[in-house]
Amino acid sequence: MISLKKARSTIFSTECGKCIKEGLECSEPIITQDENGLIDNYFVYGCDSEGRHFTKPLVGFGVYTDKEKTAYLGREFEFEDKDYISSDEINMDQSFEAFDKYSEVYPRVREFVYKKCDDEEKALLRIYLDNLKLFSGSVIYSFYEKIYPEFFEWVCKELEQA
């Protein structure tokens, strides 16, 4: 199993690490796949210290984490160049707890991603999704949905069959 910590650290063993510049944030990995395997996809963005104002995603990259290889680098996105403002109420304790739960289930979801899920896997998928939404906030989560629709279409399809 590939932990979230391993997935994120693998970024820096590829050329993708150069995308993460000081003062910018890196998204959490959203899993897609191609003919070469699973890809952990990321984007880099700017954010103020309160987590209220965000830039559009600036650049994207993908890593074949299990192979420690770059899948792609330098993807650009079609988003309006504006200040994205969050109206989310931030509860840091809840946010940290949600991140911990997400981190815990990420490697397990990675094991069955894009397959037909049984009831236990659907429950894990719900935990994954609910906690990703909670700690990411509405702005970043909306970026995830727009950039990686194939992942969220799969999630919705599996959870609708619950």
Report the predicted TM-score, pTM, of the whole model to 2 decimal places. 0.93
pLDDT band at 161 (very low <50, low <70, confident <90, very high): low
Domain range annotation of the chain: 4-160
Percent of the chain scored above 90 by pLDDT? 88
3-state helix, strand, coil in the chain (%, to 5): 50, 20, 30
Phi, psi dihedrals of residue 161, rounded to the nearest 5°: -85, 10
